[in-house]
């Protein structure tokens, strides 16, 4: 989907006044381009929506932990939601106050917990009794008493792709209501923890506000008997529109439905996608065009290694040409060079006639794009550019073959 930051000016696709072809000329493709203005716009939109709840916003780093974006979001006043010590380290490197980091994740290692404790992380979202015990022990050894939210699995199957639904009982996430109650009853057994909150996150790209409302009610019901448990982390999951046809609830819709429920509660949210998805595009170049089995294949230099979502979730990202948007469009399969048929960027993109060297933008690719990129087929991961003010800059350079070799060791190298 095009938006206020990505639009056609004089029939050339621009990002905040900069023609994307100029950036692609300078940096090459494939390439991610992000709009700082759009990220800031998204922050304000969420902030306004959730202001009536007094919610504290923690950016979910997993969506895109590019250092320049993390700094931008820190400067915009957000806390962070981390799911690994790597993400915590990234946030600290970006100058985020550790007290404003929440540490979530179903499988934190002892080393990660120790690292987070030593860093002074604000909240631990805990997902099992074993984890609670381990956290208590490691906190005790350090003379610390961190805040803990227990992650509730409310038994709600969210309307979203099955890979990213997390609130149903068949999923690995969280603790059942009975388990959360039992742990709250026995809080005294964890003297080095302040178990003071409930965390609930039922999935990503959520299609129905009512399910989130039900999850929040379930969390409140579990917390009700414990008057000091009045912090509720309601997770992320706020959806974005990937195509013109997508009908998804807006942040306002979530906030309006939740505000009457949450009076007197301290509220945290953990949005990722809603902050960065529509602030990013992936630019690719056409290599070859061919007809096969009655279909037009556009083979590009971008692939599932750059943007995995279409291959992994059947996700649809609109694809548009950088030039000449007015030409007549017909369906095409847009693919990459990787050696498997899952390597698609779009299964039926409506595109004008194209030839080698033409460039395309894969839209709404700022979240879970670069974050899930890989080196499969020994492809180098793409560079990233941030458009800010009237200018733009490379915030991550293209990987090189030497980068790919750097971690490898071959003891026999050079020996005969
Ligand atoms: N909080 C928790 C506990 C989460 O598990 C997630 C996402 C978030 C917050 C942020 O969710 P968001 O606001 O971005 O929807 N790779 C998938 C999405 C995986 C989301 C995993 N958890 C995709 O490309 O759609």
Å from CA of 243 to ligand 1 middle: 19
Residue 30 lies in a domain: yes
- 265 and 289 part of one domain: no
Q: Which of 9, 1, 11, 29 is nearest to 385 (CA)?
A: 29
Q: Which atom of ligand 1 is nearest to the CA of 151?
A: 3
Residue 416 lies in a domain: no
CB 290 within 8 A of CB 329: no
Q: Which atom of ligand 1 is nearest to the CA of 368?
A: 24
- pLDDT tens track, the chain, 416 positions: 899 999 999 889 999 999 999 999 999 999 999 999 999 999 999 999 999 999 999 999 999 999 999 999 999 999 999 999 999 999 999 999 999 999 999 999 999 999 999 999 999 999 999 999 999 999 999 999 999 999 999 988 877 888 888 888 888 889 999 999 999 999 999 999 999 999 999 999 999 999 999 999 999 999 999 999 999 999 999 999 999 999 999 999 999 999 999 999 999 999 999 999 999 999 999 999 999 999 999 999 999 999 999 999 999 999 999 997 778 999 999 999 999 999 999 999 999 999 999 999 999 999 999 999 999 999 999 999 999 998 999 999 999 999 999 999 887 766 55
Rounded Cα–Cα distance for residues 332 and 320 (Å): 12
Antiparallel, parallel or unpaired: β 18-19 and 12-15 = antiparallel
Q: Sign of dihedral through CA atoms 171, 172, 177, 178?
A: positive
CATH of the domain at 40: 3.20.20.10
Q: What percent of the chain has pLDDT over 70?
A: 99
* pLDDT value of position 63: 98
Domain boundary among 275, 305, 340: 275
Residue 412 lies in a domain: no
- 88 and 113 part of one domain: yes
Q: What are the tens digits of pLDDT across the range 368-415?
A: 999 999 999 999 999 999 999 989 999 999 999 999 999 998 877 665
* pLDDT value of position 413: 64
CB 371 within 8 A of CB 62: yes
- 21 and 41 part of one domain: no
Q: Does ligand 1 lie within 6 Å of residue 127's CB atom?
A: no
Q: What are the tens digits of pLDDT across the range 193-240?
A: 999 999 999 999 999 999 999 999 999 999 999 999 999 999 999 999
- 109 and 214 part of one domain: yes
Rounded Cα–Cα distance for residues 37 and 45 (Å): 12
Å from CA of 286 to ligand 1 middle: 31
* pLDDT value of position 415: 58
The reply to whether omega before 30 is within 30° of 0 (cis) is yes
Residue 80 lies in a domain: yes
Rounded Cα–Cα distance for residues 83 and 75 (Å): 21
* pLDDT value of position 226: 97
Q: Does ligand 1 lie within 6 Å of residue 271's CB atom?
A: yes
The protein residue with its alpha carbon nearest to ligand 1, atom 15, reads: 237
Å from CA of 372 to ligand 1 middle: 12
The protein residue with its alpha carbon nearest to ligand 1, atom 20, reads: 204
Pocket test for ligand 1, best of 123, 124, 273 (most atoms within 8 A of CB): 273
Q: Which of 150, 170, 166 is nearest to 158 (CA)?
A: 166
Pocket test for ligand 1, best of 105, 152, 204 (most atoms within 8 A of CB): 204
Name the residue with tokens 């780093």.
61
Tell me what percent of the chain is helix, strand and coil, each rounded to the nearest 5.
Answer: 35, 25, 40
CA distances, 177 to each of 132, 222, 230, 332 (Å): 16, 6, 16, 48
Q: Which atom of ligand 1 is nearest to the CA of 105?
A: 3
Domain boundary among 258, 275, 292: 275
Q: What are the tens digits of pLDDT across the range 341-360?
A: 999 999 999 999 999 999 99
Rounded Cα–Cα distance for residues 66 and 367 (Å): 11
Å from CA of 273 to ligand 1 middle: 7
Q: Sign of dihedral through CA atoms 87, 88, 92, 93?
A: negative
Å from CA of 208 to ligand 1 middle: 16
Rounded Cα–Cα distance for residues 153 and 168 (Å): 7
* pLDDT value of position 373: 98
CATH of the domain at 317: 2.40.37.10
Residue 48 lies in a domain: yes
- 268 and 287 part of one domain: no
Tokens of 80: 């962070």
**Sequence-ordered list of residues with C-beta below 8 angstroms from that of 347, at least 6 positions apart, any chain:** 310, 316, 333
**Sequence-ordered list of residues with C-beta below 8 angstroms from that of 361, at least 6 positions apart, any chain:** 6, 13, 20, 281, 282, 283, 319, 320, 321, 322
* pLDDT value of position 407: 92
- 13 and 67 part of one domain: no
- Domain tally, the chain: 2
Rounded Cα–Cα distance for residues 276 and 159 (Å): 22
Q: Which of 8, 36, 75, 65 is nearest to 391 (CA)?
A: 36
The protein residue with its alpha carbon nearest to ligand 1, atom 16, reads: 368
Catalytic residue (one of 227, 326, 339, 407): 339
- 138 and 244 part of one domain: yes
Residue 413 lies in a domain: no
* HEC profile of 320-350: EECECCCCCCEEEEEECCCCCCCCEEEEEEE
Rounded Cα–Cα distance for residues 67 and 74 (Å): 10
Å from CA of 38 to ligand 1 middle: 20
Q: Which of 131, 132, 103, 96 is nearest to 117 (CA)?
A: 103
Q: Which atom of ligand 1 is nearest to the CA of 206?
A: 15
82 CA to centre of own chain: 11
Q: Does ligand 1 lie within 6 Å of residue 63's CB atom?
A: yes
- 15 and 71 part of one domain: no
For residues 306-321, one letter each, b for 16 or more C-beta atoms within 10 angstroms of the residue's C-beta and e for the rest, the string is bbbbbbeeebbbbbbb
15 among known catalytic residues: no
CA distances, 162 to each of 64, 171, 204 (Å): 21, 10, 10
Q: Does ligand 1 lie within 6 Å of residue 371's CB atom?
A: no
Q: Which of 211, 250, 210, 212 is nearest to 233 (CA)?
A: 212
Range of the domain at 230: 36-275
Q: Does ligand 1 lie within 6 Å of residue 146's CB atom?
A: no
CB 393 within 8 A of CB 31: no
Q: What is the dihedral of CA 37, 43, 49, 50, to 10 degrees?
A: -170
Rounded Cα–Cα distance for residues 30 and 337 (Å): 12
Residue 312 lies in a domain: yes
Rounded Cα–Cα distance for residues 11 and 92 (Å): 42
Domain boundary among 229, 257, 275: 275
- 128 and 63 part of one domain: yes
Rounded Cα–Cα distance for residues 181 and 281 (Å): 44
Residue 43 lies in a domain: yes
Tokens of 213: 């409302």
Q: Does ligand 1 lie within 6 Å of residue 251's CB atom?
A: no
- 150 and 137 part of one domain: yes
Question: Rounded to 5 degrees, what are φ and ψ at 406?
Answer: -55, -35
- 291 and 232 part of one domain: no
Q: What would you report as the CA-atom Rg of the chain, rounded to the nearest whole angstrom?
A: 23
- 71 and 48 part of one domain: yes
């Amino acid at each position: 989907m095009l938006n206020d930051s990505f639009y056609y000016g004089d029939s050339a696709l621009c990002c905040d006044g900069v023609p994307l072809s100029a950036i692609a000329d300078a940096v090459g493709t494939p390439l991610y381009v992000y709009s700082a203005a759009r990220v800031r716009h998204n922050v304000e939109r969420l902030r306004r929506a959730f202001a009536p709840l007094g919610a504290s916003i923690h950016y979910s780093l997993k969506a895109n932990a590019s250092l320049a974006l993390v700094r931008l979001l820190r400067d915009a006043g957000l806390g962070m939601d981390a799911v690994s010590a790597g993400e915590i380290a990234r946030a600290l490197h970006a100058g985020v106050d550790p007290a404003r980091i929440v540490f979530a994740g179903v499988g934190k290692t002892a080393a990660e917990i120790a690292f987070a404790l030593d860093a002074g992380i604000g909240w631990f979202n805990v997902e099992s009794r074993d984890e609670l015990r381990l956290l208590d022990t490691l906190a005790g050894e350090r003379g610390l008493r961190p805040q803990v939210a227990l992650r509730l699995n409310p038994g709600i199957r969210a309307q979203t792709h099955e890979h990213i639904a997390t609130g149903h009982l068949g999923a690995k996430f969280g603790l059942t209501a009975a388990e959360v109650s039992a742990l709250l009853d026995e809080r005294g057994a964890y003297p080095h923890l302040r178990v003071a909150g409930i965390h609930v996150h039922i999935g990503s790209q959520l299609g129905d506000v009512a399910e989130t409302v039900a999850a929040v009610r379930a969390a409140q019901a579990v917390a009700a008997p414990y008057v000091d448990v009045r912090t509720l982390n309601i997770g992320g999951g706020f959806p974005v529109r990937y195509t013109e046809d997508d009908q998804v609830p807006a942040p306002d819709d979530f906030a309006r439905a939740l505000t009457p429920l949450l009076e007197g509660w301290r509220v945290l949210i953990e949005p990722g996608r809603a902050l960065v998805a529509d602030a990013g595009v992936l630019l690719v170049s056409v290599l070859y065009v061919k007809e096969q089995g009655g279909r037009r294949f556009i083979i590009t230099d971008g692939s599932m290694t750059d943007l995995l979502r279409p291959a992994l979730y059947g996700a649809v990202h609109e694809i548009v040409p950088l030039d000449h948007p007015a030409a007549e469009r017909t369906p095409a399969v847009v693919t990459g060079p990787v050696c498997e048929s899952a390597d698609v960027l779009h299964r039926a993109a409506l595109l004008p006639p194209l030839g080698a060297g033409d460039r395309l933008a894969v839209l709404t690719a700022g979240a879970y794009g670069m974050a899930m990129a890989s080196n499969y087929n020994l492809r180098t991961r793409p560079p990233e550019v941030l458009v800010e003010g009237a200018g733009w800059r490379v915030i991550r350079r293209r990987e090189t073959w030497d980068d790919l070799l750097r971690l490898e060791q071959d003891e026999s190298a050079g020996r005969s």
